Homo-oligomer: A and B are copies of this chain.
Amino acid sequence: MAVLTPRSTDFPRWYQDVLDKAELADNGPVRGTMVIRPYGYALWERMQADVDTRIKAAGAVNAYFPLFIPESYLRREAEHVEGFSPELAVVTHGGGKELAEPVVVRPTSETVIGEYMAKWTQSYRDLPLLLNQWANVVRWELRPRLFLRTSEFLWQEGHTAHADAADAAAYARRIALEVYREFMTSVLALPVFVGAKTRKERFAGAINTMTCEGMMGDGKALQMATSHELGQNFARAFDIDFLGPDGGRHLAWTTSWGSSTRMIGGLIMAHGDDNGLRVPPALAPTQVVVLPVRDDDAVVTKAREITDALTALGVRARLDARPGLSFGRRVTDAELKGIPVRVEVGPRDLAAGNVTLARRDTAEKFPVPLGEAAGRVPVLLEEVQASLYAQALALRDERTSDVTSLAEAVEAAATGFARLPWHLVGEDGEARLAEDSLTVRCLQTPDGALPTADTRDEDLVCLVARAY
């Protein structure tokens, strides 16, 4: 009996099975909330560490702003409050008393951070102000799905203030391309379409939203991260102004950008197969699991030596010699958890001076001389990383169709992405697509680049798809 529902039978059921069997997450007791189990959290910790390094390299510093926001703050930016009101969780009682003003649990922190940016920004010398925070946020969800859409999720949210529009635009773009796209491509092994959202799909209060859209194993799109130019909307609402070199006071230009535990859902759905997760080595908390085939002292000792040799080479290796669990069960567990490479150590192999290396991405297995085993792994891990990216890219290419009419787009988007000139769609077309539960995922230049302010509307192409 298969451990998981096959993907082709029922993709959502397969996803749920992976979450359970790979011990990634569980439903929380309050509807829509989530328990991130240790293995799921280990994936998040690795994502966090890598994204955090990239954010710091882009010059931003971490800070922390309160969970609770006065309701009145949200009302200061009209589009923002309209966008978030239906999703708010509201605290009405604190310390045993009803509060004079209810407070909302942050759905995102533009408003409260705006208030402090205003305080900290006096002169142009204080700009750009580049902040980031790692936090939990709450958006009440009626149809929750673990990692993809939960009432509470973990994320980083960057918030920056700049002296002029061009600097703000360049920074938001840099985050989308150099932080998010680079991370997804080189660590998650996930090709993403980076483009601009249509006016209809923009963040509530933004003048431009850039997005990284990944293709999942079922051909649907997942918005993996977004970066917003907020123009002067929040600066106006929160009085973020500064003394310019000209001696006059000017309103700042702000941006915000975020990536979340949703990326774990993307990782599962983009790379997973019928045997479980497949984690790219650059991300994997455990890159190699060493499995003694039998609970035999000589075999376990040899397996431990290999684990130590791998660790010494800088490989994240772990010995799995759990007593009471058969070799087969331990292999299944390593497959479910998507550990990129297994080293299997058996008495028969050992007698021939060999161990077996097994790749999770291709299911290939091959014997190697014991003395060479550890040394072969680093290159093998690079191959697995490249192969997972290549497989995801091949799927995306295969399932992305260039079409020339809205009707063709609807048809192609039933199984993947449809690409067509934006002027064939437009806002009327978006309404038409919505009837089939399709959306324009993003707008790009014809050669697949992120548009700039100079890109003309008639030169844009759009990607249409079903989406999570």
Chain A contact residues, CB within 8 Å of chain B: 26, 28-30, 33-38, 40-42, 44-45, 61-70, 73, 85-96, 102-103, 105, 112, 115-116, 119, 125, 131, 135-136, 138, 140-142, 151-152, 154, 324
- List, in ascending order, chain B residues with CB within 8 A of A70's CB: 29-30
Contacting A95 at CB < 8 Å: which of B86, B93, B136?
B86
Task: Take A95-B140, A324-B125 as given contacts and tell me if A33 and B152 are in contact as well, using a CB distance cutoff of 8 Å.
Answer: no
The answer to whether A91 and B94 touch across the interface, beta carbons within 8 angstroms, is no
The answer to whether B64 and A41 touch across the interface, beta carbons within 8 angstroms, is yes
Chain B: minimal CB distance from A48 (Å): 10
- Pairs of residues from A and B, 8 with the lowest C-beta to C-beta distance, nearest first: A95-B140, A33-B66, A28-B66, A36-B64, A90-B93, A38-B61, A30-B68, A94-B140
- List, in ascending order, chain B residues with CB within 8 A of A324's CB: 125
The answer to whether B86 and A63 touch across the interface, beta carbons within 8 angstroms, is no
The answer to whether B105 and A152 touch across the interface, beta carbons within 8 angstroms, is no
The answer to whether A28 and B112 touch across the interface, beta carbons within 8 angstroms, is yes
The answer to whether B66 and A35 touch across the interface, beta carbons within 8 angstroms, is yes
- List, in ascending order, chain B residues with CB within 8 A of A91's CB: 89-92, 105
Q: What separation, in Å, do the CA atoms of A66 and B105 have in the docked complex?
A: 13
- List, in ascending order, chain B residues with CB within 8 A of A86's CB: 95-96
- List, in ascending order, chain B residues with CB within 8 A of A136's CB: 67, 135-136
The answer to whether A103 and B30 touch across the interface, beta carbons within 8 angstroms, is yes
- List, in ascending order, chain B residues with CB within 8 A of A63's CB: 35-38, 40-41
- List, in ascending order, chain B residues with CB within 8 A of A141's CB: 95
Q: What separation, in Å, do the CA atoms of A112 and B73 have in the docked complex?
A: 31
Task: Take A29-B115, A68-B152, A70-B30 as given contacts and tell me if A62 and B89 are in contact as well, using a CB distance cutoff of 8 Å.
Answer: no
Chain B residue at minimum C-beta to C-beta distance from A33: B66
- List, in ascending order, chain B residues with CB within 8 A of A103's CB: 30
Q: What separation, in Å, do the CA atoms of A289 and B436 have in the docked complex?
A: 60
The answer to whether B42 and A62 touch across the interface, beta carbons within 8 angstroms, is yes
Chain B: minimal CB distance from A130 (Å): 9
Q: What separation, in Å, do the CA atoms of A85 and B97 have in the docked complex?
A: 11
Task: Take A30-B103, A140-B95, A324-B125 as given contacts and tell me if A152 and B90 are in contact as well, using a CB distance cutoff of 8 Å.
Answer: no
- List, in ascending order, chain B residues with CB within 8 A of A88's CB: 93-96
The answer to whether B45 and A62 touch across the interface, beta carbons within 8 angstroms, is yes
- List, in ascending order, chain B residues with CB within 8 A of A41's CB: 61-64
Q: What separation, in Å, do the CA atoms of A294 and B213 have in the docked complex?
A: 50
List 15 interface pairs A-B (beta carbons < 8 Å), by A numbering: A28-B65, A28-B68, A28-B112, A30-B70, A33-B66, A36-B64, A41-B61, A41-B62, A42-B62, A44-B64, A85-B96, A86-B95, A86-B96, A91-B92, A92-B92
The answer to whether B95 and A30 touch across the interface, beta carbons within 8 angstroms, is no
Besides A26-B119, A36-B65, A91-B92, 4 other A-B contacts (C-beta < 8 A): A38-B61, A44-B64, A89-B95, A94-B140
Contacting A90 at CB < 8 Å: which of B44, B87, B94, B119?
B94
Chain B: minimal CB distance from A52 (Å): 9
Chain B: minimal CB distance from A151 (Å): 8
The answer to whether A33 and B94 touch across the interface, beta carbons within 8 angstroms, is no
Contacting A29 at CB < 8 Å: which of B38, B73, B85, B140?
B73
The answer to whether B42 and A152 touch across the interface, beta carbons within 8 angstroms, is no
Q: What separation, in Å, do the CA atoms of A329 and B416 have in the docked complex?
A: 60
- List, in ascending order, chain B residues with CB within 8 A of A125's CB: 324
- List, in ascending order, chain B residues with CB within 8 A of A87's CB: 95
Q: What separation, in Å, do the CA atoms of A102 and B94 have in the docked complex?
A: 12
